[in-house]
C-alpha cells in the first residue's frame, strides 16, 4: 500500500528529544522527493532542539506546487520530555499542534507530488537531519484531522507516572512512591518498566517494595547500579486495575546530604506504550544538628553517642561503624567547627 495523499494530509507522532540534541531541526518522518541532493520531500514531519516544527519541505524558501513549507515555533522547553506533535493540511490551510494546542497556521494550496523514494522514520537521508531521541505512535492520514481528533490522539493511552515532592531529614530513610492514575481492564496493563535516575551523592538506595500497591499481584525485578540508576521491570498474568491515583512501586533511600534533588524517570513503558506524562518530584533534605541517630529527635542519647565516638569508641557498630558516614559527623558537629572534639 502506498502512502501517497495528494490533496490533504495529517501526520501525528509522539517524540522525546534528547537533551544533547544540537540540531535546530531533525526529521521525525520523511517521504523524499526528487534527487537525493535536492533535499526535497513530498511530505515530512520535523522538530528540533529549539522547538522548530515543520510539515513540508525544509529546503525550499518559497512555496511551489511540489512543496508545502510551514514553520511554527513552540519554544525549547520540550527537551527531555514526551511531546505530541501533529501537522495537518486540508488543501487550503496548514495547521500545527503541540500537545493538542494549535500553535500556528499557514494558507497553502497545491498538490503533493511523489516518486519512488522510501518512507523514512527518524532520518531524511542526511546525517544532519537524523532524529536524536525517541519516536512513538506515528500516524499518517489522507485527510486533515479536526482539532477534536487531534485532542483525542493526545489523550489516547497517555499513561502517567508521578512522584511527589518530599521534605525529610538527612540520615533518615525516605520512601519514594511511584504512582499512576485510573487503570481499567481496557488498559490491559500487564507489564511496566522504567529507569529511575538519582543523585547518589544525596540519596543512598536501600530497598524496594510492591506490597500493598496496585502492582502487588505481579512480580518485579529491580536492579540498582553504582552510578545512580535503578531499572525496574514488572509483569503479571492479570491486568493492573485501580481507581484514582495508585502506587505501583515504593523505592526506599537514605538521605545522605542536605539540599534539593530531583530524580528523573526515563524509558518508561506500560506494556509496549511509552509513558508520555511523567512528573518528577523534588526531595529536600535538611540537617537536624544533634540528631545523631536520625530519629528526628535531639536527646541526651545523641550526646552520649557523640562522646563515645570522640574517645574512639564505636557506639553504633550495627548501624554505622567507625568511621561514621559524612552526614552523621556533620550533624554531630553541633558547634560547626568541622570536627567532633575529643
Report long-range pairs for 59-63 (Cβ below 8 Å, ≥24 apart): 63/108, 63/110
* Tens-digit pLDDT profile for residues 148-198: 999 988 887 678 999 999 999 999 999 999 999 999 888 899 999 999 999
Q: Is 19 exposed, middle or buried (0-12, 13-18, 19+ CB in 10 A)?
A: exposed
Cell of residue 303, nine digits: 550526646
* Tens-digit pLDDT profile for residues 6-19: 788 888 888 887 77
Domain ranges across the chain: 9-155, 160-286, 289-342
pLDDT at 72: 41
Q: Cα(6)–Cα(101) distance, rounded to whole angstroms?
A: 25
State the architecture of 160-286 in CATH terms.
Sandwich (2.60)
Please determine, looking at this structure, whether the domain spanning 289-342 carries the CATH number 3.40.50.720: no
pLDDT at 126: 60
The pTM for the full model equals: 0.71
Model confidence at 79: pLDDT above 70: no
CATH number at 9-155: 2.60.120.200
DSSP per position, 53-94: EEES-TT-SS--TT----EEE--STTBTSEEEEEEEE-SSEE
Amino acid at each position: 500500500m502506498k502512502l501517497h495523499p495528494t490533496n490533504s494530509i495529517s501526520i501525528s507522532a509522539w517524540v522525546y528529544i534528547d537533551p544533547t540534541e544540537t540540531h535546530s531541526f531533525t526529521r521525525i518522518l520523511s517521504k523524499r522527493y526528487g534527487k537525493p541532493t535536492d533535499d526535497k520531500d513530498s511530505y515530512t514531519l520535523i522538530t528540533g532542539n529549539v522547538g522548530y516544527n515543520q510539515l513540508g519541505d525544509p529546503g525550499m524558501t518559497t512555496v511551489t506546487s511540489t512543496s508545502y513549507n510551514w514553520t511554527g515555533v513552540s519554544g525549547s522547553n520540550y527537551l527531555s520530555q514526551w511531546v505530541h506533535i501533529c501537522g495537518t493540511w486540508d488543501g487550503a490551510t496548514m495547521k500545527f499542534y503541540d500537545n493538542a494546542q494549535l500553535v500556528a497556521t499557514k494558507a497553502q494550496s497545491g498538490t503533493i507530488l511523489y516518486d519512488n523514494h522510501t518512507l523514512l522514520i527518524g532520518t531524511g537521508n542526511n546525517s544532519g537531519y537524523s532524529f536524536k531521541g525517541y519516536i512513538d505512535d506515528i500516524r499518517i492520514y489522507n485527510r486533515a484531522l479536526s482539532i477534536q481528533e487531534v485532542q483525542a490522539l493526545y489523550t489516547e493511552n497517555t499513561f502517567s507516572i508521578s512522584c511527589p515532592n518530599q521534605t525529610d531529614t538527612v540520615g533518615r530513610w525516605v520512601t519514594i512512591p511511584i504512582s499512576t492514575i485510573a487503570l481499567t481492564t481496557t488498559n490491559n496493563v500487564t507489564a511496566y518498566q522504567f529507569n529511575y535516575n538519582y543523585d547518589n551523592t544525596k540519596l543512598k538506595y536501600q530497598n524496594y517494595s510492591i506490597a500493598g500497591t496496585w502492582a502487588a499481584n505481579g512480580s518485579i525485578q529491580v536492579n540498582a547500579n553504582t552510578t545512580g540508576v535503578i531499572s525496574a521491570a514488572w509483569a503479571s498474568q492479570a491486568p493492573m486495575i485501580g481507581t484514582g491515583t495508585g502506587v505501583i512501586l515504593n523505592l526506599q533511600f537514605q538521605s545522605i546530604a542536605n539540599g534539593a534533588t530531583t530524580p528523573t524517570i526515563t524509558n518508561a513503558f506500560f506494556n509496549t506504550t511509552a509513558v508520555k506524562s511523567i512528573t518528577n518530584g523534588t526531595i529536600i533534605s535538611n540537617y537536624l544538628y544533634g540528631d545523631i541517630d536520625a530519629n528526628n529527635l535531639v536527646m541526651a542519647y545523641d550526646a552520649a553517642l557523640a562522646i563515645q565516638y570522640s574517645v574512639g569508641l564505636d557506639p553504633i557498630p550495627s548501624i554505622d561503624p567507625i568511621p561514621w558516614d559524612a552526614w552523621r559527623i556533620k550533624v554531630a558537629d553541633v558547634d560547626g567547627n568541622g570536627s567532633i572534639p575529643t
